Amino acid sequence: MFLSRLARLNVISIKPLAAQGLTSQRLFSSSLVSYKTNTSTRTKENVHDLKTFFELIGRDTIEHHDSFEGDLQKFLDTSSKEMKAMGIDVSTRRYMLRWKNKFINDLEPLREHQRGKKRNGGERKEKQVLAQRKALKRKEERQQFAKDRAAGLVSDERVF
Which of 103, 105, 61, 111 lies closest to 86 in space, CA to CA? 61
CB atoms within 10 A of CB 80: 14
Q: What is the pLDDT of residues 89-105, one digit of tens each?
A: 999 999 999 999 998 88
Which of 75, 79, 80 lies closest to 64 in space, CA to CA? 75
Q: What is the pLDDT of residues 12-44, one digit of tens each?
A: 666 665 555 555 565 555 555 555 555 566 777
* Residue 155 DSSP label: -
Domains of the chain: 37-104 (1.10.150)
Contact 106, 39 (CB under 8 A): no
